Amino acid sequence: MMQRSWADSPLYTISDWIMRLAYINLLWLLFMIIGLFIVGFMPATVAMFTVIRMLLMKEESVPIFKTFLTFLKRNL
């Protein structure tokens, strides 16, 4: 019988998702503030939801900051 890795545990998976969502939320808040709330709200929100959608659709790792910045610039 193979021994399971600690990275396969449900607690690790949940913790990883919480960390990713917190990081995306901080990016959203930072770029919304940089965009002076009114101008930065929509591009930052679209970028946030795009990154979350990509994380849900793909199994492999998505570069969060790079993807967020790409979609933020695309929506300015």
Letter for the amino acid at 42? M
Band (pLDDT 50/70/90 cuts) for residue 3 is: low
Separation CA 8–CA 35 (nearest Å): 39
Separation CA 46–CA 65 (nearest Å): 14
Q: Is the dihedral of CA 29, 31, 37, 39 positive or negative?
A: negative
**Per-residue pLDDT tens for 30-47?**
999 888 877 788 999 999
pLDDT for residue 7: 67
